[in-house]
Amino acid sequence: HKYEDSGLTIYPGHGSSADIALFDTVLRYIEDFEKTMENSTKTEEAMDKMKELYPTWEQSGFLLMHSVQYHMGLKEEE
C-alpha cells in the first residue's frame, strides 16, 4: 500500500470510519473514474461502468451522477 498502516482512524465525510488504507481506496477510485471517463461517450455508459466497479458504494446516484455529468460536459467542450 502506498500509505502504511499507522493505526490512525479516518472519519470521512461519507461512509463509516476506516483506517489509513482508505486513501489507497480513494486513489484507486479516482484512477478508475478518470479511465472510465476517457473511455465513455455517454453519461449512462460511464454511470453503469462505475456502478459495476463499485456496486456497494453509497450515494452513487447523487454524487456520481453530478461528477459524470460535469466531466462529460468538459469532454464535449474539447
d(CA 23, CA 2): 8
SS3 content of the chain, % helix, strand, coil (to 5): 60, 5, 35
**CA–CA gap between residue 73 and residue 68 (Å, rounded):** 8
Q: What is the pLDDT of residue 37?
A: 93
Q: Residue 21 — pLDDT band, cuts 50, 70, 90?
A: confident
pLDDT per residue as tens digits for the range 25-40 = 888 999 999 999 999 9
- Among 1-10, 45-54, 65-74, whose mean pLDDT is lowest? 1-10
Q: What was the pLDDT predicted at 77?
A: 59
pLDDT in the model for residue 45: 93
What is the pTM for the complete model shown? 0.72
